[in-house]
Structure 1
Amino acid sequence: MNKQELMDCLARCGMHPGKVLGQNFLLDGNLLDYIVRTAAPPPGEVVLEVGPGFGALTAKLLAAGVELYSIEFDHRICEFLRTGLAAPNFHLIEGDACRVDLRRILPPEREFRAIANLPYAISSVFITRLLDLERPPELMIFMLQKEMGQRLAAPAGTKNYGALSVRTQLLYDVKMLRIVSPRVFYPPPGVDSALVCFERKKALPDLALRRRLGAVARTAFAQRRKQLQKVLCGNFPSEQVKAAFQVLGLKPEVRPEALPVETFAALAAQLSEVRK
């Protein structure tokens, strides 16, 4: 879809891209082809898309033969897609991707992939929702704000490393595929974007441990400049925290950004779910 085609779609719907909804439409056909080629979904694979817009990426995914479930918030765009992209393998859900029950709209007991030009305003909330699924996507490819991509891919010991980095990297190998200029969007966002790939690891920790790790990481990075043991003792039983540090050979004064994901997971496993 080129810019003129997009402008025609906008005119037909009587709309202007909304800043509140983060509507920045991707126009680069070569980049769209690259996304589908990199995701390489086999025919019949279940794919989840969020924010399909006027269907530039959607149409290419449908052409690949996937079973596509697209969530769109804007009712005007939904009406456009219902008439313009009618296909037996296209399932359009009108709603808020941060509230829709994903377990109800996706086929049960099926692996799926998530591929989207994700609205930047919901990216962290939506990715967190995916991480909280019993069986999260086996592959995710998202267009994100560059800073968000850097946070998700950041290694321990760097300033971008945080709670969401830990939670995401527990389940996925995260790779920044390329930085994307604002010029390939309409309207162009005020920031650079990044195409980020998430490949799920073979062994998944159980959901209870993942949730406990989330609580530990959020607590730790809420006061990232303070000594980790003191911070955790303020939220978890201090005896357990000190015992866990001893078992894992951690110094009380260590800062959270120094701990790799595996150590965070081991620390979470040592702590009970009961918080102060």
Structure 2
Amino acid sequence: MLLAELELHPRRKWGQNFLTDPNMLDAIVRTAAPATGEVILEIGAGTGVLTERLLAAGARVTAVEIDRRLAGHLRAAFGGHPGLRLIEGDACDLDYDALLGAEPYRVVANLPYACSSVLVATFARLRTPPRDMLLLLQREMADRLAASPGTKDFGSLTVSVRMTYDVTRLRAVPPGVFTPPPEVDSALVRLTARTPPLSVAERDRVGAVARVAFGQRRKKLSNALSAHFDAVAVREAMLRAGIPADVRPEQVDVLGFVRLAACLPAE
């Protein structure tokens, strides 16, 4: 096996559970179906098994890898390939608007579990967000992204991401397709950008309101917001947004939060 050949041991701090099952890798690329010359961003390129398939399909791949040992392997394996740009660094620290510019791109990745929520939320806030994302995620994370209002998984992350993306769970993924196998189940999820997108300022505003609301999710929405905004302004904003006065945060859908944020006074 490649990891053994390279004498590499997965590091828990980076959430390194490498996708090694060839059938699953092939299924992801078939589902992604990259067009020749299309720009694909891959986070956590690892040993390059998905990278190789994306390049073979004709994609132009920007691959991000934090582990210098794996980055060295990727340079040796793909050095000089005209379709690959390798970025060695922490995916959570990159400026993707600067890195990828205004050109449309998609994300295809087995996201490290340790930073998946941060990365997905970051993509949803970009000036030019990816037009589509095909992601392998921890099942719990997939549940949160796809959650319906009124459920325990519906929260501020759901609102922040679903302002920008429609979320579809495609299939469950068992631990055995990874090395080492994680202790949890996974899911393959597709996020498709909504058009037209809200402005960055609008997305930031709605996300901030959702974080305040779900910071005290056991309280009524009006009470949770009144800890941060004037209580009279909160009542008026909820009335104008068409939100009942006695609801809890998880009972308000994404569009309800968008309307509410637009009605609340600026901080």
Shorter-chain TM-score range? over 0.9
Aligned to 2:162: 169
The amino acid that maps onto 2:234 is: V
Q: What is the aligned partner in structure 2 of residue 127 from structure 1?
A: 120
In 1, Cα distance between equivalents of 2:243 and 2:95 = 40
Residue number among 130, 142, 147 corresponding to 2:135 in the alignment: 142
Q: Report the counterpart of residue 264 of structure 1 in structure 2.
A: 257
Flag structure 2 segments of 5+ consecutive residues without an equivalent.
none
Tell me if structure 1 keeps the 8 A contact 2:18–2:179: yes
Aligned partners of 1:268, 1:215: CA distance in 2, in Å?
9
Q: Distance in 1 between matches of 2:124 and 2:227?
A: 26
> 2:13 corresponds to which residue?
20
Q: Which amino acid aligns with 2:32?
A: A
Structure 1 SS opposite 2:244:
coil
Note the alpha carbon deviations across 1:105-139, whole angstroms, 9 max, x for none.
22x22011011000000000111111110121000
Amino acid at match of 2:98: R
Paired residue for 2:40? 47
C-alpha separation between the residues in 2 aligned to 1:13 and 1:29? 19
- The answer to whether 1:74 aligns with 2:51 is no
After TM superposition, give the deviation of residue 12 of structure 1 in Å: 3.9
Q: Equivalent pairs: percent with the same residue?
A: 48
Name the counterpart of 1:4: none
Contact 1:212 1:273 in 2 (8 A): no
8 A contact 1:177–1:194 mirrored in 2: yes
- Counting only pairs closer than 5 Å after superposition, residues 164-203 of structure 1 correspond to structure 2 as 164-203=157-196
Structure 2 SS opposite 1:124 = helix
1:88 shift after superposition: 0.6
Q: Is the Cα contact below 8 Å between 2:97 and 2:128 reproduced in 1? A: no
**Residue 108 of structure 2 corresponds to which residue in structure 1?**
115
- Taking structure 1 as the reference length, the TM-score comes to 0.93
- For the pair 1:94 / 2:62, whether they are aligned, the reply is no
Find the partner of 1:105 among 99, 103, 126: 99
Specify the code of the residue in structure 1 equivalent to 2:97: R
The one-letter amino acid paired with 1:259 is V
Q: Aligned partners of 2:72, 2:125: CA distance in 1, in Å?
A: 31
* Contact 1:157/1:258 (8 A) holds in 2: yes
SS in 2 for 1:98: helix
Contact between 2:239 and 2:245, CA under 8 Å: does it hold in 1? no
Report the count of equivalent residues. 266
For residues 62-117 of structure 1, give each alpha carbon's deviation from its aligned partner in whole angstroms, at most 9, with x where no partner exists: 111111101100000000000101211100000000002222322x2201101100
Moved more, 21-30 or 155-164: 21-30
